[in-house]
Amino acid sequence: MAHEGVFVRRRLARWLADKALARAPDGLGGLTYTFPERLADATSDTYLAPLVRHPERTTPI
């Protein structure tokens, strides 16, 4: 997905917009945290917002 330039839109942007989705077993929280339900909104915003906003992150490689 990264090579096609769609990873940010299909994953990161969705997790940023929908915090419950980010905490789901196949979301950012479920894939990276022992207790995904504890993933704070501010934490996901801090990590994901800069990646979603940066235009180079959505350009195909």
In angstroms, the CA 52 to CA 8 distance is: 6
Joined tokens for residue 46: 């801090």
Contact in structure between 22 and 16 (CB atoms under 8 Å)? yes
User: What pLDDT, on the 0 to 100 scale, is given for residue 12?
Assistant: 92
Q: What is the pLDDT of residues 7-58, one digit of tens each?
A: 888 999 999 999 999 999 999 999 998 999 999 999 999 999 998 887 766 6
Which comes out higher in pLDDT, residue 46 or 61?
46
- The reported pTM is 0.78
Domain spans of the chain, in order of start: 19-55
DSSP 8-state code for residue 24: S
User: What pLDDT, on the 0 to 100 scale, is given for residue 25?
Assistant: 93
User: What pLDDT, on the 0 to 100 scale, is given for residue 3?
Assistant: 82
